[in-house]
Amino acid sequence: MSSTPEVYLDAASSERLHPAARDTLVAALERGYADPRRLHRAGRDARLLLDNARAVVADALGVHPDEVGFTSSGTDAVHRGLLGLTAATGRDGIVHSAVEHSAVLHAAAWRPSPATTSIGVDATGRVDLVALAAAAAAPGVGAVALQAANQEVGTLQPVDEAALPDGVPLLVDAAAAVGHVPLPRRWSVLTASAHKWGGPAGIGVLVVRRGTRWTQPFPGDDGLEELGGFPNVPAALAAAAALQAVLAERDEVTARQFGQVATIRAAAAALPDTEVVGAAEARLPHLVTFSCLYVGGDEIVDELARRGFGVASGSACTASTLEPSHVLAAMGALTHGNVRVSLTRETTDEQVAAFCAALGEAVTAIRERAGL
């Protein structure tokens, strides 16, 4: 094994803490420990920090501070968001694309309903808008869930083009998109996850637009002020600081990443029996997925790790279950030999070039072992 540090290419699973978040977190740990509901000085300090975090996140997302709540994760935000919509409408049916994050699929399965429908996608992973609108109009549908961008293949969904019936609210899971691309505008509820943009883990964001029929679905009081118990004030403020910093750098970083991903897409497509998966242009700037015939997902992850690159895979043999990625399956894509590369804000052109070279070597080596 080489002693060279690993080149981390799995930002879509979790981005490294942004330096702005680190400084803010350390300062806020000193000041933001108290209960923000208390009227003593320490409580007022914590309240000030929490309000500041909400205001910064609201400004970054283009919403009002009183529309923003912090949860314990992106998954938690999706669960509370979706189930809060169905609880408020009294209709348990959830219409969602087949390529949503498992948090959405799990929420949809929580209260089985005949109106719950999974909507298919095309070969690039883009949802069928006609089928989505038709399913949303069925009786018993309490909410529609459509992601801003896909977490595995990077395809952007045409959220603002969705023609949904009046009274059927839309939840947009923006966890993969926030900080990377402009967000859709037409939604009632939006969710995100701070560690995907360089904030700390343990902070999700739940935005509920004013006027939306939404209620807290789990035990506790209504409202976004206190979701799931005592708030993590320092982490919320650090998440807000990271988001602010990431958005300030976004144009420069994403332009660079878009080109770097185009380089990796071309290198992967040039390999024999290898298919790049997902939209070529309407995509996240920093993420690319491809699948190589006759290659095990665990083998390619291991071979790339030995060459100094850390990547993810949607193949079954790398998952905790034997089931392959539901996203790749819904797209009709090859599920084995899958590699997902997601660049960090610091990935360099040199690292991308070295990765492309290592990829070709790794695939060739694995196929030779298989006798092909």
Structure tokens at 309: 């690159």
Any contact of residue 370 with other proteins (CB under 8 A)?
yes
How buried is 106 (Cβ within 10 angstroms: 0-12 exposed, 13-18 middle, 19+ buried)? middle
Closest CB 123 distance from other proteins, rounded Å: 9
The stretch among 201-209, 260-268, 291-299, 351-359 that binds other proteins (CB under 8 A) is: 291-299
Between 193 and 291, CB nearer to other proteins: 291
Any contact of residue 219 with other proteins (CB under 8 A)?
no
Closest CB 323 distance from other proteins, rounded Å: 5
Structure tokens at 274: 């290898």
Between 223 and 332, CB nearer to other proteins: 332
Any contact of residue 125 with other proteins (CB under 8 A)?
no
Any contact of residue 115 with other proteins (CB under 8 A)?
no
Any contact of residue 317 with other proteins (CB under 8 A)?
yes
Any contact of residue 333 with other proteins (CB under 8 A)?
yes
Structure tokens at 189: 């509820």
Closest CB 140 distance from other proteins, rounded Å: 30
The correct pick among 324, 359, 362, 363 for binding other proteins (CB under 8 A) is 324
- In the region spanning residues 259 to 288, those forming contacts with other proteins, defined by CB under 8 A, are 273, 275
Q: Are 297 and 318 in contact (CB under 8 A)?
A: yes
Between 110 and 294, CB nearer to other proteins: 294
Residues found in the chain: 372
Any contact of residue 322 with other proteins (CB under 8 A)?
yes
The stretch among 28-36, 88-96, 185-193, 314-322 that binds other proteins (CB under 8 A) is: 314-322
Percent of the chain as helix, strand, coil, to the nearest 5: 40, 15, 45
Any contact of residue 371 with other proteins (CB under 8 A)?
yes
The CA distance from 330 to 337, in Å, is: 16
Closest CB 287 distance from other proteins, rounded Å: 21
Write out the DSSP string of 79-142: HHHHHHHHHHHT--EEEEETTS-HHHHHHHHHS--TT-EEEPB-TTS-B-HHHHHHHHTSTTEE
The correct pick among 173, 337, 347, 352 for binding other proteins (CB under 8 A) is 337
The CA distance from 309 to 9, in Å, is: 7
Any contact of residue 327 with other proteins (CB under 8 A)?
no
What is the signed CA dihedral for 194, 198, 201, 202, rounded to 10 degrees?
-30
Any contact of residue 332 with other proteins (CB under 8 A)?
yes
Q: Active-site residue 292, yes or no?
A: no
Catalytic residue among 42, 317, 354, 358: 317
The CA distance from 188 to 211, in Å, is: 9
φ, ψ for residue 10, nearest 5 deg: -135, 40
The CA distance from 295 to 307, in Å, is: 17
Closest CB 313 distance from other proteins, rounded Å: 12
> Among 304, 332, 303, 329, which Cα is nearest to 314's?
329
Any idea which residues carry the catalytic annotation?
317
Where along the sequence are the contacts to other proteins (CB under 8 A)? 273, 275, 291, 293-297, 315-317, 322-324, 328-329, 332-337, 370-372
